């Protein structure tokens, strides 16, 4: 079929302007035209708008999102608010929907045990049926993006079709414009594509009506994701978690890594140097606030591609250029940099916060909230409950903000560097109240992979479901691991082994509690763990070797607390935080063993490390005659 001719026909039908037809024509890409034709035919929008990289086109999206009430303007210049759908506290579109996110599996293909899967043919039939006419009466925006910096070995181009101006607007803040990059593709088919529809809308602001027909189907075979009947960014934005899954699949068959990592430049006081670190934490475990720590430089807060580079380092690039961050607990004291950014004029989308008289309010902002206003449940007043009697908070715990990194004062100037940044270290962290110490350095690269593979976290509101349940989450990437865990871990092993300067790996735990359930650390203490790790990569500090890894010396932490936070760090606190809790760790090892056994082909080094840890810990417990070992015990014979 001559797709160009077909699409030219849209001009005659009044679907597409001459100018926008020309924009498509200039791309000179058959696959792009084919996709547009296929999905316009299926989804039946009443208008097509092609958004190039021009300021005029981008302004069109920014203005129309407000005209269509998908966002509303707030008092501060550039601020808007968007709401996602809500029925009850357990039936809503306020978080990623793991249940309805499925990987389409061709006959006989690998089925990741931790993810939902569906036979490819069956899944396609189902979702294409749901998508029939889903854009009826609506405008379909066609946008082009570049994942990663432009003109870079890292970059992957992406095409997005969506009938949500909120999606199109968010992507403008979060991703690099790629229309001009598509022109350079030279008719190649090598790009990802995403078709999204919010489906039938209801109410004002308009939200998805048929949440029960929400589907997010990942088609690895075609490098595409089809997403329908949702608006929440983690479900709807192709370039975010949907592209993450496709990129994990692509990298798995090549020689690079796709990770759920932030990237930051760590800048210790008085040292006049920047060392780059990446880090993976499950949702709502302090990932963004680590990358945004005062005095440090942010490169990215969510997704990174890693490649080995000619200089012998692993280089990491942020595939995004903005932040879609959790707003809960962002306040002047705990997250001063983000708080400042969110309370001053700049293009910012707030989602699912409370609005009263044009101002936004969120949980933990350090300010009293009004007793009524507009929130994700409509008009809200104190003591409001859903139809099941569950209390509705004034703002959602997974309420978010979307901003461009370039707007922030602490953004690293290598954000757009086509070479990315060389990594000195990697952090892995989870939400763990009683097992791992606040910071721990791995014994070597393989042990670092082991630390990443054994991340456990108590669940939060960032995904739909019960909160506070302990779940294992290898590399904080489990929700997106469309490839076998064993192969993924082997790729990590190989990747590091081939580097001349392998990153040092650390695990962090910001959530350790005492027996009364009180956190053992202040929120900004994480800065000390990060700076200590940086010092370790530069040879600044000695450390204590334990069976589970290296832990810091008290004196070093005491000095860092004083220098970086002006805070007194007592030896009692140190001992409580850095004791090796053997019983709890052994219990964790048992859980890990179970998780690895459920997978096929877990690499040998993981089993060796797990068994060695177990034996070493039992021996230590017997030697010392107790199951909680103080750091100083390691010096005693």
Sites for Mn ion among residues 514-533 (CB under 5 A): none
Distance CA 183, CA 197 (A): 26
CB of 94 to Mn ion, least distance (A): 15
- E strand spans, 405-476: 421-430, 439-441, 456-458, 470-472
Using rule CB under 6 A, residue 291 touches ligand SPV: no
Region binding ligand SPV by CB under 6 A among candidate stretches 233-241, 350-358, 544-552, 562-570: 233-241
Q: Say if residues 555 and 570 touch (Cβ distance below 8 Å).
A: no
Using rule CB under 6 A, residue 96 touches ligand SPV: yes
Phi, psi of 17, rounded to the nearest 5 degrees: -80, 160
Take residue 595 and report the two structure tokens written for it: 């998780």
CB of 543 to ligand SPV, least distance (A): 31
Distances (CA, A) of 101 to 89, 116, 117, 170: 20, 7, 8, 21
CB of 444 to Mn ion, least distance (A): 28
Which of Mn ion, ligand SPV, none binds 166 (CB below 5-8 Å, type-dependent)? none
User: What is the end-to-end Cα distance of the chain in Å, rounded?
Assistant: 80
Using rule CB under 6 A, residue 283 touches ligand SPV: yes
CB of 279 to Mn ion, least distance (A): 12
Which one-letter DSSP state was computed for residue 368?
A: P
Using rule CB under 6 A, residue 302 touches ligand SPV: yes
Q: Say if residues 341 and 405 touch (Cβ distance below 8 Å).
A: no
Which of Mn ion, ligand SPV, none binds 240 (CB below 5-8 Å, type-dependent)? ligand SPV
Number of H helices, E strands in the chain: 18, 37
Which one-letter DSSP state was computed for residue 565?
A: I
Using rule CB under 6 A, residue 234 touches ligand SPV: yes
Site string for ligand SPV, 240-259 (x = CB under 6 A): xx------------------
CB atoms within 10 A of CB 106: 12
Q: Which is nearer to ligand SPV, 217 or 324 (CB)?
A: 324
Exactly one of 134, 146, 267, 285 is catalytic; name it: 285
Using rule CB under 6 A, residue 82 touches ligand SPV: no
Q: In what order do the strands lie in the sheet with 322-326?
A: 72-73, 79-82, 348-351, 400-404, 322-326
Site string for ligand SPV, 192-231 (x = CB under 6 A): ----------------------------------------
Distance CA 524, CA 296 (A): 12
Region binding ligand SPV by CB under 6 A among candidate stretches 234-242, 350-358, 607-615, 628-636: 234-242
Q: Which is nearer to Mn ion, 92 or 400 (CB)?
A: 400
Q: Which is nearer to Mn ion, 302 or 320 (CB)?
A: 302
- E strand spans, 275-377: 275-280, 297-300, 304-308, 314-318, 322-326, 348-351, 354-356, 359-361, 372-375
- Find, among 565, 263, 567, the residue nearest to 421 by Cα: 263
Phi, psi of 389, rounded to the nearest 5 degrees: 85, 5
CB of 244 to ligand SPV, least distance (A): 8
Active site annotation includes 134: no
Q: Which is nearer to ligand SPV, 280 or 337 (CB)?
A: 280
CB of 443 to ligand SPV, least distance (A): 29
Q: Which is nearer to ligand SPV, 329 or 419 (CB)?
A: 329
- Find, among 341, 345, 299, the residue nearest to 318 by Cα: 299
- Total residues contacting ligand SPV by CB under 6 A comes to 9
Phi, psi of 513, rounded to the nearest 5 degrees: -125, 160
CB of 288 to ligand SPV, least distance (A): 8
Sites for Mn ion among residues 289-328 (CB under 5 A): 302
Distances (CA, A) of 35 to 76, 194, 262: 39, 10, 32
CB of 402 to ligand SPV, least distance (A): 10
CB of 96 to ligand SPV, least distance (A): 5
| Closest residue to Mn ion using C-beta atoms | 302
Using rule CB under 6 A, residue 431 touches ligand SPV: no
Using rule CB under 5 A, residue 259 touches Mn ion: no
Distance CA 104, CA 120 (A): 4
3-state SS assignment for residue 629: strand
Q: Say if residues 81 and 350 touch (Cβ distance below 8 Å).
A: yes
Distance CA 409, CA 416 (A): 15
- Find, among 67, 73, 74, the residue nearest to 49 by Cα: 67
Which of ligand SPV, Mn ion, none binds 158 (CB below 5-8 Å, type-dependent)? none
Q: Which is nearer to ligand SPV, 101 or 537 (CB)?
A: 101
Region binding ligand SPV by CB under 6 A among candidate stretches 106-114, 232-240, 572-580, 621-629: 232-240
Using rule CB under 6 A, residue 233 touches ligand SPV: yes
Sites for ligand SPV among residues 319-338 (CB under 6 A): 324
Which one-letter DSSP state was computed for residue 564?
A: I
What are the residues binding ligand SPV (CB under 6 A)?
96, 233-234, 240-241, 283, 302, 324, 462
Q: Which residues are catalytic?
A: 285
What are the residues binding Mn ion (CB under 5 A)?
302
């Amino acid at each position: 079929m001559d797709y160009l001719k077909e699409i030219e026909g849209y001009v005659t039908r009044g679907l597409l302007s001459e100018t926008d037809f020309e924009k498509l024509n200039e791309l000179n890409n058959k696959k792009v035209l084919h996709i547009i034709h296929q999905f316009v035919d299926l989804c039946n929008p009443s208008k097509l708008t092609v958004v190039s990289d021009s300021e005029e086109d981008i302004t069109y999206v920014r203005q129309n999102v407000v005209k269509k009430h998908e966002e509303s303007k707030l008092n501060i210049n550039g601020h808007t608010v968007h709401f996602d759908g809500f029925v009850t506290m357990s039936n809503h579109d306020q978080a990623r929907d793991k249940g309805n996110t499925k990987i389409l599996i061709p006959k006989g293909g690998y089925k990741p045990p931790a993810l939902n899967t569906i036979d490819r043919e069956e899944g396609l039939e189902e979702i294409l049926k749901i998508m029939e006419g889903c854009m009826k009466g609506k405008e379909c925006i066609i946008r082009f993006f570049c994942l990663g910096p432009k003109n870079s070995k890292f970059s992957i181009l992406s095409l997005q079709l969506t009938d949500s101006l909120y999606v199109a607007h968010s992507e403008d803040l979060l991703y690099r414009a790629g229309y001009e990059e598509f022109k350079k593709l030279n008719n190649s088919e090598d790009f990802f594509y995403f078709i999204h529809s919010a489906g039938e809308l209801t109410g004002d602001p308009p939200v998805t009506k048929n949440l029960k027909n929400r589907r997010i189907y990942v088609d690895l075979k075609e490098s595409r994701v089809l997403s329908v009947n949702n608006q929440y960014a983690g479900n709807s934005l192709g370039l975010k978690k949907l592209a993450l899954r496709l990129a994990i699949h692509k990298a798995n068959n090549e020689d690079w890594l796709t990770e759920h990592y932030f990237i930051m430049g760590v800048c210790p006081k008085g040292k006049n140097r920047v060392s780059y670190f990446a880090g993976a934490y499950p949702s709502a475990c302090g990932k963004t606030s680590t990358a945004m720590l005062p005095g440090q430089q942010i490169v990215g807060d969510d997704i990174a591609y890693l490649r080995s580079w000619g200089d012998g380092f692993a280089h990491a690039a942020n595939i995004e250029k903005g932040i879609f961050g959790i707003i809960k607990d962002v306040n002047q004291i705990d997250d001063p940099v983000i708080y400042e950014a969110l309370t001053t004029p700049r293009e910012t989308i707030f989602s699912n916060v409370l609005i009263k008289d044009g101002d936004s309010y969120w949980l933990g902002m350090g300010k009293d909230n009004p007793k009524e206003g507009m929130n994700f449940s409509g008009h809200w007043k104190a003591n409001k409950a859903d139809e099941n009697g569950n209390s509705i908070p004034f703002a959602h715990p997974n309420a978010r903000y979307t901003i461009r990194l370039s707007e922030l004062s602490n953004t690293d100037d290598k954000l757009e560097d086509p070479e990315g940044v060389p990594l000195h270290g990697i952090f892995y962290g989870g939400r763990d109240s009683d097992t791992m110490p606040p910071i721990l350095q791995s014994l070597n690269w393989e042990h670092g992979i082991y630390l990443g593979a054994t991340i456990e976290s108590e669940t939060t509101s960032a995904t739909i479901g019960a909160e506070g349940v302990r779940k294992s989450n290898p590399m904080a990437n489990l929700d997106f691991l469309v490839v076998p865990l064993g192969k993924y871990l082997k790729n990590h092993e190989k990747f590091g082994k081939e580097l001349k300067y392998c990153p040092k790996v650390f695990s962090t735990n910001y959530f350790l509690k005492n027996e009364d359930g009180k956190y053992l650390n202040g929120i900004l203490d994480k800065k000390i763990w990060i700076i200590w790790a940086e010092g370790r990569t530069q040879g600044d500090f000695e450390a204590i070797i334990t069976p589970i890894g290296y832990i810091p010396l008290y004196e070093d932490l005491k000095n860092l607390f004083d220098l970086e936070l002006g805070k007194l760090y007592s030896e009692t606190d140190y001992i409580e935080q850095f004791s090796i809790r053997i019983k709890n760790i052994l219990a964790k090892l048992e859980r890990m063993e179970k998780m690895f056994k459920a997978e096929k082909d877990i690499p040998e080094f993981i089993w060796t490390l797990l068994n060695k840890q177990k034996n070493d810990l039992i021996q230590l417990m017997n030697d010392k005659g107790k199951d909680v070992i103080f750091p100083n015990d390691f010096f005693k014979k």
